[in-house]
Amino acid sequence: MRKEAIMAPKVLVFAPTGDSHKFLEQNGCEVQLGNPQWHVPGGDYEAEYISMAKGAVALAGSSMRATPTSRRVLQALPDLRIVAKATVGVDDIDIEAASELGVLVTHAPVESNWGNIAETTVMFMLSLLKGQMIQDTTIKEGGWWTEGRQGAYVGSRNSDGYKGITLGIVGLGRIGGRVAHLMRPWNINILASDPYIPEYRFLEFGVQPVDLETLLRESDVVTIHVVLNKETKHMISARQIEMMKPTSYLINTARGGAVNELDLINALEKGTIAGAALNAYEEEPLPPESPLRFMGNKVIMRPHGGSPLRTTGPEAPAGRGAGQNSQWVNNDILKALKGETPEHVFNAEALPLWLERFKGKDLFVH
């Protein structure tokens, strides 16, 4: 008797990372790649997103804030099992809708991602405190020293009792904790504000727990490491920035929405604080007309992203082009399509309904 052909489960990769999708193709999936225009701010591509995703049982990709995976997208895909993110953050996914619909959202908090963000934060901090950008500009323009901008001494000194700068960490999770760990050998004063972690975490990282207002008033550098949700949206706005020292710096390597960008721009223009460093913005990519692009050495900027995106060379196996985070994505997708629970579930509240709908239902077996 002739066997009926098995239809390959469809995966829409809305924001590809390297050639990681090839691994899914090699393992029996039909893979469709999203439109690069979906990343362009100001566009209206939700209808096209829904149309291309029709019939998909999995969505995957890195961040895509210009065309988020909204409730409308999720509701239009009745067979969807999983949205697998190659990033730590999932703020471009409607988590509430996914959970209501029994769709799992997975993410990839791999160390190469969050650890690199911590290193970027330290780089930002040292560049700001040492006045690196302005000194670099002065030399390239034919000068030598920039008067009055030689930079700060960061660490403590035994010779004269100088205690070093005070660093304020908002959010002592993976990244905030790593920043504290990296800075401990400098013997500086480290403050941290995080109401959701146990007391031993502050002791573990050698930091002093304080409330947010105290941290803002006492720190020479304030660095933000929070997830973006209703509570943290614009948690740093005009009122909070005005609490900071006029000589202090603000670093945001978390999510753009954690800082009110217009308020930060106004503060920088007025000299409320000395400067800022950013690799997260309220709109990404940063619009060409953003005032942040024209603030010279007051602001250090990098594009949003933390992990090295590619492993190159002939030794890199197919589908592993974006590193460990893509391995997590691919493995989570294959598990979900086999009716098994993925490892890196973000919205655990969706599991009961998901298990009721999909447990044991293997799409690769007819």
Active site annotation includes 201: no
Our answer to whether residue 255 is catalytic in this structure is: yes
Tokens of 344: 């890196």
Give the whole-angstrom CA distance, residue 293 versus residue 285: 12
- Distance, in Å, from the CA atom of 19 to the CA atom of 115, rounded to the nearest integer, reads 23
d(CA 63, CA 68): 9
Identify the active-site residue in 178, 255, 320, 344. Answer: 255
Q: Which of 65, 304, 320, 344 is catalytic?
A: 304
User: What is d(CA 75, CA 262) in angstroms, rounded to the nearest whole number?
Assistant: 34
284 part of the active site: yes
Cα gap 301→280, rounded to integer Å = 9
Annotated catalytic residue within 218, 261, 282, 284: 284
- What is the set of active-site residues? 255, 284, 304
